[in-house]
Chain A
Amino acid sequence: MISEQLLYSLAGVGLFGIGLRATLLHHMLLPRLLALNVCGAGVFLIFIAIAYGGLKIMADPVPHALVLTGIVVAVSATAMALALGRRLEALDDE
């Protein structure tokens, strides 16, 4: 099932590239955070694509658990970054 693995991992690489480019190009915090999240989604996709073994074979559960952890950490990090950004805005206003 190499073709599906390859297709989805290349899509993951693509997502990572798109996200990285936008992270570097943007200046504002919110678009940068979105771009970083797209980057992260790309990494998750590479992981899960490699864990996939075909329709009839069981997928590898260890990367699944790692990515599940990753999704929760990503949302926490996003919340933290948003709070930091909000505080910065408040300081700029003063």
Chain B
Amino acid sequence: MIELLWSIFDITLVLLLLALAWNTCSTRDVMRAVTLFIAMGLLLAIVWARLKAPDLALAEAVIGAGISGALLLSAIRDYPSTPMVSQRSTLIEGIINILTLALTILMSWAVWHGLNMSDGVRLSGQVISQLPVSGVSNPVTAVLLNFRAYDTLLELAVVLTAVLTVLTLNEKRADYVVSGRLLQGMTHWLVPLLVVTSGYLLWVGAHAPGGAFQAGAMLAAAMILLRLAYPSKQQEFNNVLLRVLLVIGIFTFVLVGLWMMSLNDDFLAFTPAWAGTLILIIETAATVSIAAALTLAYRGGRPKDWEDANRTSRSIAENGGQDDQ
């Protein structure tokens, strides 16, 4: 009986997911497509929870649905509001349909075949056996920040590169019109709650689902909410401070890596006794950097007077030069 219920639940979830994806991709209205995409993100979070991946469910709800949603919604303004009409000729459309269908069938066969052939290699055993020396008891955090710390370091580099591109290309978007009392009143409750939740997720990541990415995204959500509720009142961040916050994650990560290299001969090879503390330090710095990066990415470009930090130092240098003359 229970198994039947699970099956019904699974099938409903999958069908809903596919229907939402299909509608996201085929609707003619951009606004509608983005809204459906956010809904799909939330549904995916449920799917992750169902497939026993609570870390992912948290990340998907905050990043996949929340931050991407805000990003895409604010980007709609940048494009002319033409309806999404496919301009391909019927012939090309037909070819694309046939080719994607063929590929999908081929991939379905590959997945079916692969799952039937063998159980495959499972790494849970290895992870569990090494968990005591990783410094944390949440296996996902252990993989992210200890066993495969290289990946996470480079991931932070990817995030930084993306944000630097965003900052180089554009000025920030004009702020929204003030949003009304309801949102402002709500932020008084929500923002402190989000900040506390972010700190909790960061701390709890060591032994339960959570961690730097979820915490950073949660903090960015709080910043975005503040920006939406009080577009004009908001004090601009000090730009030098903002730059420091952007890079502090990678900086700390590399510094710890090099320090461990001097002790254990391998980059990022943590000494087991200190691993827990080191991971917490790295995660705290990474949380701040991710929050700064996502907030800046949401704003779509350089904040006001972004170059001034450069200009001030350059003018000091130039003045110094003149004095010498």
- Which A residues are closer than 8 A to B by beta carbons? 2, 4-22, 24-31, 33-35, 37-38, 41, 44-46, 48-53, 55, 58-62, 64-69, 71-80, 82-87, 89-90
- Tell me whether A71 and B59 are in contact (CB under 8 A): yes
A11, A13, A46, A76: the one within 8 Å of B163 (CB): A76
- Tell me whether A71 and B84 are in contact (CB under 8 A): no
- Tell me whether A31 and B53 are in contact (CB under 8 A): no
Top-5 shortest CB links A-B: A17-B104, A22-B25, A76-B162, A79-B297, A61-B139
| 30 A-B contacts (beta carbon < 8 Å) | A2-B116, A8-B10, A8-B51, A17-B100, A19-B25, A24-B96, A28-B79, A34-B37, A34-B72, A38-B40, A45-B47, A48-B51, A51-B53, A58-B128, A59-B52, A62-B127, A65-B151, A66-B151, A68-B211, A72-B155, A73-B155, A74-B64, A74-B68, A77-B162, A79-B163, A83-B166, A83-B297, A83-B301, A86-B301, A89-B80
Per the CB 8 Å criterion, the residue count for chain B at the interface is: 87
- Tell me whether A17 and B103 are in contact (CB under 8 A): yes
A13, A50, A82: the one within 8 Å of B120 (CB): A50
How far does the alpha carbon of A79 sit from the alpha carbon of B298 in the complex, in Å? Answer: 7
How far does the alpha carbon of A76 sit from the alpha carbon of B213 in the complex, in Å? Answer: 12
How far does the alpha carbon of A7 sit from the alpha carbon of B123 in the complex, in Å? Answer: 22
Which of B85-93, B222-230, B317-325 makes up part of the contact surface?
B85-93
Which A residues are CB-close (under 8 A) to B245? Answer: none
Contact A51:B51 (CB < 8 A) given known A19-B21, A75-B294: yes
A16 to chain B: closest CB distance in Å?
7
Residue from A35, A48, A75 having most chain B Cβ neighbours under 10 A: A75
Question: By DSSP majority rule, is chain A's interface helix, strand, loop, or mixed?
Answer: helix
B56, B76, B158, B290: the one within 8 Å of A68 (CB): B56
Q: Which of B49-94 contact A (CB under 8 A)?
A: 51-53, 55-56, 59-60, 63-64, 67-68, 71-72, 75-76, 78-80, 82, 84, 86-88, 93
- Tell me whether B96 and A21 are in contact (CB under 8 A): yes
The answer to whether B14 has its CB under 8 Å from any CB of chain A is yes
- Tell me whether A68 and B22 are in contact (CB under 8 A): no
